[in-house]
């Protein structure tokens, strides 16, 4: 990919926080204004956005392409639900447990980073498929293809959040927390190391970044986010089935971050919202959802290689260059 | 089902994996590209064969095979021209190219669903039901066709890459693109040619497999295992693709029987990950210099 747009370093974080406030503001306000079905849709968007933010950190920032990310959402979902339903653990604790277990499996998978490049992709892919098959076949634990129903009501500290507005609020809080943490992280020392890793691994190694350790860290963090998001999924759908975690869903997550903008946190959220809203308007054509997704992916890569966020960046950059005439030359 | 018959069917299915895996390896060698759409070429090839058979029910199987291969090769070249080559020229990153191939795979499989429908189709040919007895064990005759084709293909590829000028040119481009170009090899032609061969081999796998199973838009899932086979054998190596494919086919059959049939796919991937942990460069091959 071409070189990133040079933005003066002191300006970049401020701009990112503004964008974050804008994106999160839309997510928070719109479903409440539109109401009804949008609360449900908003919850799904916020929940998947948490997972896609994790993937964005891994793929877009640190360049570790995972083709099985949905597996970690699945691990989180089943862990959360089983903890709540079978052991009666409160939701918050269960969601943290789900996140940690997903992170643990992510760390396990990250051991495979010794397989670099092509081999890592394949390993993540294989991991995703094995996970799906386990969810499908461990009938005693997961209910097999029948899935799990009778999800306990969403309750936090004794307050009932099981209404559509309640579920949405919790999802939006999850998203806000993840987004803010990740934004802080990307602008920190660690985040810059991740970026260096994503842009040029040998160069990162040569300036003394312990590449292996950072790879493992970013994969674990990405998987923790996926697991945390997973804990919410059963509460939104009121039902859990392995079919939510096929490898196509991993692809959908990848398309979300790609269409939104490679490496952009705001882009990940926007891409997620788009890919969840679009199918709602083509219900009659549900069979061709994946065809549309595939075409979207190809078209966005041809016309907008940096995704929506990259496109907006370019427009803003051009406008700014025009308004403030003596352009500061950035090497 | 006897053990011998199991092993033999494992080898036959393994050859199908191997054929698709050869396609993966060829495109990887020629363009440094992991083409996730390769398995979809197999599916498209099987459907082309189905369409030919529907139009001309009396056509001999080998002619159907040839037509399907030719049609898929054309499709492969067209995709290489309109999608991959511009992206590579632009210097697109590795991740971008992988996503592009994934997108193309999705469009191919769901496009096939649009054209041929969601229901699996069956090859109406006598060959589909023929049984041959091998030392008393009944086996589908198709298995022998698959084996024979595999051997023939390996001989041809061996000759092609060591004796023919085009084959040598392809290897030169794979080895060092710039130097090969300086020596007068057309690198663009080389990548188109690689795509054509890889697609045709994929299509052959599809047509050979079709009489044994149902042909459907999602049969590209077999390609996932072919991919594992290519990786196990050593990505980029043709011999490795075959060894990986046959090995995977046998391990999966035996492992599936030992555990439970529904774990067949898991066995394949678990073995793949195990092989990678023990021999990161695959069973055969020096690995990828990168």
Q: What is the pLDDT of residues A289-305, one digit of tens each?
A: 788 888 888 887 777 77
Is A69 within 8 Å of chain B by CB? no
Q: Verify whether the Cβ–Cβ distance B270 to A133 is below 8 Å.
A: no
Is A200 within 8 Å of chain B by CB? no
Q: Verify whether the Cβ–Cβ distance B227 to A298 is below 8 Å.
A: no
Average pLDDT rounded to a whole number, residues B222-242: 81
Structure confidence by residue, pLDDT tens digits, A250-275: 888 988 888 888 888 888 898 898 88
What span, in angstroms and rounded, lies between the C-alpha atoms of B77 and A20? Answer: 43
Residues 6+ apart with CB under 8 A from B183: B172
**To which H or E segment does residue B138 belong?**
strand B137-140
Structure confidence by residue, pLDDT tens digits, A194-249: 888 888 888 888 888 888 888 889 999 999 999 999 999 988 888 888 888 888 88
Which residue(s) pair with A148 in the sheet? A240
Segment 258-287 of chain A within 8 Å of chain B by CB: 258, 262, 287
B247 with B229: CB under 8 angstroms?
A: yes
Q: Is A134 strand, coil or helix? A: helix
Q: From the list B103, B262, B290, which residue is nearest A298 (CB)?
A: B103
Residue in the block written with tokens 């090899």: B185
Which residue(s) pair with B133 in the sheet? B138
CA B274 to chain centre: 22
Closest-CA residue of A relative to B231 is A119
Is B109 within 8 Å of chain A by CB? yes
The whole-number pLDDT of residue A2 equals 46
Q: From the list B28, B95, B280, which residue is nearest A65 (CB)?
A: B95
Tokens in use for A128?
Answer: 């995703």
Contacts of A65 in chain B (CB under 8 A): 94-95, 98
Q: Verify whether the Cβ–Cβ distance A297 to B106 is below 8 Å.
A: yes
CA A188 to chain centre: 20
Closest to A182 measured CA to CA, from A307, A277, A113, A267 = A267
The whole-number pLDDT of residue A331 equals 47
Could you give the percent of chain B with pLDDT greater than 70? 96
Most confident residue range from A5-9, A149-153, B125-129: A149-153
Is A129 within 8 Å of chain B by CB? yes
Q: How far is CA A123 from CA A43, A108, A127, B220, in A?
A: 31, 11, 6, 19
The whole-number pLDDT of residue A325 equals 56
Q: Verify whether the Cβ–Cβ distance A291 to B111 is below 8 Å.
A: yes
- Best A55, A130, A200, A304 member to test B by mutation, with max B CBs in 10 Å, is A130
Closest-CA residue of B relative to A303 is B87
A268 with A226: CB under 8 angstroms?
A: no
Give the single-character DSSP code of A115.
S
Residue in the block written with tokens 């040569």: A206
Q: Verify whether the Cβ–Cβ distance A129 to B224 is below 8 Å.
A: yes
To the nearest whole Å, the CA of B273 is away from the closest chain A CA by 6
- Best A56, A112, A118 member to test B by mutation, with max B CBs in 10 Å, is A118
The whole-number pLDDT of residue B289 equals 36
Residues 6+ apart with CB under 8 A from B55: none
Q: Verify whether the Cβ–Cβ distance B106 to A125 is below 8 Å.
A: no
Average pLDDT rounded to a whole number, residues A118-135: 81
Lowest mean pLDDT among A91-95, B156-160, B175-179: B175-179
Q: In terms of DSSP H, where are the helices of chain A?
A: 12-34, 37-55, 70-87, 91-110, 118-137, 139-142, 164-186, 189-199, 201-206, 211-237, 247-260, 265-280, 289-303, 307-323
Longest dimension (CA), chain B: 59
Closest to B283 measured CA to CA, from B252, B214, B225, B237 = B237
Contacts of B104 in chain A (CB under 8 A): 294, 298
A226 with A72: CB under 8 angstroms?
A: yes
Give this prediction's pTM.
0.83
Q: Verify whether the Cβ–Cβ distance B102 to A130 is below 8 Å.
A: no
Give the single-character DSSP code of A163.
S
Q: Verify whether the Cβ–Cβ distance A1 to B228 is below 8 Å.
A: no
Structure confidence by residue, pLDDT tens digits, A145-156: 787 887 888 778
The whole-number pLDDT of residue B287 equals 45
B43 vs A133, more confident: B43
Which residue(s) pair with B138 in the sheet? B133
Q: How far is CA B151 from CA A107, A121, A204, B154, B253, in A?
A: 43, 31, 46, 5, 21
Q: From the list B28, B106, B114, which residue is nearest A293 (CB)?
A: B106
Q: What is the ipTM of this complex?
A: 0.75
To the nearest whole Å, the CA of A158 is away from the closest chain B CA by 42
Q: Verify whether the Cβ–Cβ distance B114 to A255 is below 8 Å.
A: no
Contacts of B91 in chain A (CB under 8 A): 1-2
Average per-residue pLDDT for chain A: 83
Closest to A170 measured CA to CA, from A98, A229, A221 = A229
Residues 6+ apart with CB under 8 A from B155: none
Q: From the list B34, B104, B231, which residue is nearest A298 (CB)?
A: B104
The whole-number pLDDT of residue B290 equals 34
Residue in the block written with tokens 């009804």: A36
Helix, strand and coil in chain B, % to nearest 5: 75, 5, 20
Residue B49 above 50 pLDDT? yes
Contacts of B273 in chain A (CB under 8 A): 112, 123, 126-127
Tokens in use for A59?
Answer: 């793929």
Q: Verify whether the Cβ–Cβ distance A115 to B104 is below 8 Å.
A: no
Residue A1 above 50 pLDDT? no
What span, in angstroms and rounded, lies between the C-alpha atoms of B5 and A156? Answer: 58
Q: Verify whether the Cβ–Cβ distance A287 to B90 is below 8 Å.
A: no
Could you give the percent of chain A with pLDDT greater than 90? 18
Q: How far is CA B170 from CA B94, B151, B189, in A?
A: 21, 22, 9
B24 with B235: CB under 8 angstroms?
A: yes
CB count in 10 Å sphere of residue B96: 18
CB count in 10 Å sphere of residue A16: 17
Is B118 within 8 Å of chain A by CB? yes
Is B188 within 8 Å of chain A by CB? no
Phi, psi at B78, each rounded to 5°: -60, -45
Is B98 within 8 Å of chain A by CB? yes
Average per-residue pLDDT for chain B: 82
- Best B39, B105, B110 member to test A by mutation, with max A CBs in 10 Å, is B110
To the nearest whole Å, the CA of A266 is away from the closest chain B CA by 19
A18 burial class (0-12, 13-18, 19+ CB within 10 angstroms)?
exposed
Tokens in use for B72?
Answer: 């898929």
The whole-number pLDDT of residue B288 equals 43
Contacts of B260 in chain A (CB under 8 A): 137
Is A142 within 8 Å of chain B by CB? no
Tokens in use for A55?
Answer: 């993937």
CB count in 10 Å sphere of residue B89: 9
A–B: how many Cβ contacts below 8 A?
A: 117
**To which H or E segment does residue A155 belong?**
strand A155-156
B39 burial class (0-12, 13-18, 19+ CB within 10 angstroms)?
buried
B246 with B8: CB under 8 angstroms?
A: no
CA A275 to chain centre: 13
Contacts of A2 in chain B (CB under 8 A): 90-91
To the nearest whole Å, the CA of A120 is away from the closest chain B CA by 10
To the nearest whole Å, the CA of B202 is away from the closest chain A CA by 20
């Amino acid at each position: 990919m071409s070189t990133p747009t040079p933005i003066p370093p002191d300006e970049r974080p401020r701009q990112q926080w503004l964008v974050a406030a804008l994106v999160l503001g839309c997510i928070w306000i719109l479903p409440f204004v539109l109401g009804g079905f949008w609360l449900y849709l908003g919850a799904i968007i916020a929940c998947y956005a948490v997972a896609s933010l994790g993937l964005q950190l891994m793929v877009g920032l640190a360049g570790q392409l995972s083709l099985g990310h949905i597996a970690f959402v699945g691990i989180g979902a089943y862990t959360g639900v089983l903890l709540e339903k079978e052991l009666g653990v409160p939701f918050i604790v269960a969601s943290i447990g789900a996140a940690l277990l997903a992170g643990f499996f992510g760390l396990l998978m990250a051991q495979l980073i010794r397989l670099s490049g092509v081999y890592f992709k394949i390993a993540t892919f294989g991991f995703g498929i094995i996970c799906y098959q386990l969810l499908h076949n461990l009938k005693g634990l997961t209910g097999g293809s029948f899935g799990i129903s009778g999800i306990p009501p969403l309750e936090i500290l004794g307050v009932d959040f099981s209404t559509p507005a309640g579920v949405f609020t919790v999802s939006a809080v999850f998203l806000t927390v993840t987004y803010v943490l990740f934004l802080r992280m990307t602008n920190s020392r660690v985040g810059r190391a991740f970026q260096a890793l994503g842009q040029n691994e040998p160069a990162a190694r040569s300036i003394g970044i312990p590449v292996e350790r950072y790879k493992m860290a970013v994969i674990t963090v990405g998987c923790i986010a996926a697991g945390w998001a997973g804990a919410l999924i059963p509460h939104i759908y009121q039902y859990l089935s392995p079919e939510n975690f096929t490898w196509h869903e991993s692809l959908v997550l990848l398309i979300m971050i790609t269409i939104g903008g490679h490496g952009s946190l705001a882009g990940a959220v926007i891409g997620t919202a788009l890919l969840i809203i679009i199918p709602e308007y083509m219900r009659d054509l549900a069979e061709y959802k994946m065809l549309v997704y595939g075409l979207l992916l190809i078209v966005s890569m041809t016309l907008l290689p940096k995704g929506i966020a990259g496109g907006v960046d370019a427009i803003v950059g051009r406008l700014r260059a025009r308004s403030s005439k003596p352009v500061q030359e950035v090497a | 089902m006897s053990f011998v018959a199991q092993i033999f069917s494992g080898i036959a299915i393994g050859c199908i994996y191997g054929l698709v895996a050869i396609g993966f390896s060829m495109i990887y060698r020629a363009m440094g590209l992991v083409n996730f759409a390769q398995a979809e070429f197999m599916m498209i090839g099987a459907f082309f064969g189905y369409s030919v058979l529907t139009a001309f029910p009396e056509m001999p199987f080998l002619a159907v095979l040839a037509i399907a291969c030719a049609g898929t090769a054309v499709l492969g070249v067209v995709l290489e021209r309109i999608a991959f080559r511009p992206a590579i020229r632009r210097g697109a990153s590795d991740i971008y190219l992988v996503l592009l191939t994934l997108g193309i795979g999705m469009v191919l499989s769901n496009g096939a669903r649009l054209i041929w429908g969601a229901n699996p189709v069956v090859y109406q040919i006598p060959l589909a039901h023929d049984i041959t007895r091998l030392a008393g064990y009944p086996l589908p005759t198709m298995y022998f066709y698959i084996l024979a084709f595999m051997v023939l293909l390996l001989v041809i590829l061996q000759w092609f890459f060591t004796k023919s000028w085009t084959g040598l040119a392809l290897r030169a481009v794979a080895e060092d693109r710039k130097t090969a170009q300086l020596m007068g090899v057309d690198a663009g032609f080389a990548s188109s040619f690689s795509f054509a061969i890889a697609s045709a081999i994929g299509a052959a796998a599809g047509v050979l497999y079709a009489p044994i199973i149902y042909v459907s838009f999602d049969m590209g899932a077999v390609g996932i295992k072919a991919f594992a086979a290519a990786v196990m054998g050593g990505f980029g190596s043709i011999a490795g693709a075959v060894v990986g494919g046959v090995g995977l086919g046998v391990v999966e059959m035996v492992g599936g029987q030992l555990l439970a049939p529904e774990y067949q796919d898991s066995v394949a991937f678990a073995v793949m990950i195990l092989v990678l942990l023990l021999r990161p460069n695959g069973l055969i091959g020096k690995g990828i210099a990168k």
